[in-house]
Amino acid sequence: MHPAPSVIIFTTLSGLGFGLLFWLGLGMPAVTGWVAFAFFAIAYALAVGGLLASTFHLGHPERAIKAFSQWRTSWLSREAWASVAALVFMGLYALGLVFFDARWTVLGWVGAALSLVTVYSTAMIYGQLKTVPRWKSPLTPALLLAISISGGALLAGQVTAALILLPIAAVVQVIWWVRGDTALKTSGTDMASATGLGGIGRVRAFEAPHTGTNYLLKEFVHVVGRKHALKLRGIALVLGYAAPVVLLLLPFGHVLALIAVAAHLAGIAASRWLFFAEAEHVVGLYYGKR
Radius of gyration of the chain (CA): 21
Which of 74-88, 112-126, 221-235 is the least confident region? 221-235
| Dist. CA 269–CA 266, nearest whole Å | 5
Residue pair 119/15 in contact by the 8 Å Cβ criterion: yes
The pLDDT mean for the chain works out to: 90
| Dist. CA 61–CA 152, nearest whole Å | 29
DSSP assignment of 17-50, as one string?
HHHHHHHHHTT-S---HHHHHHHHHHHHHHHHHH
Residue pair 176/272 in contact by the 8 Å Cβ criterion: no
- Under the banding of pLDDT at 50, 70 and 90, the label for residue 105 is very high
- Cβ atoms within 10 A of the Cβ of 133, count? 22
pLDDT, tens digit, 9 for 90 and up, residues 11-47 = 999 999 999 999 999 999 999 999 999 999 999 999 9
pLDDT, tens digit, 9 for 90 and up, residues 147-203 = 999 999 999 999 999 999 999 999 999 999 999 999 988 888 877 776 677 778 787
Average pLDDT over residues 142-147: 98
- Cβ atoms within 10 A of the Cβ of 181, count? 13
Which percentage of the chain shows pLDDT scores above 70? 92
| Dist. CA 45–CA 29, nearest whole Å | 18
Quote the pLDDT of residue 89: 98
Quote the pLDDT of residue 290: 57
Instruction: Provide the residue range defining the domain that includes 74.
Output: 5-287
CATH number, domain of 248, equals 1.20.1630.10
Of 228 and 19, more confident: 19
**CA 257 remoteness from chain centre:** 22
- Under the banding of pLDDT at 50, 70 and 90, the label for residue 144 is very high
Quote the pLDDT of residue 211: 67
Quote the pLDDT of residue 46: 97
Average pLDDT over residues 225-242: 90
| Dist. CA 47–CA 10, nearest whole Å | 8
Looking at the structure of the chain, the number of domains it has is 1
pTM summary value: 0.92
pLDDT surpasses 80 at 215: no
Of 89 and 209, more confident: 89
Residue pair 81/130 in contact by the 8 Å Cβ criterion: no
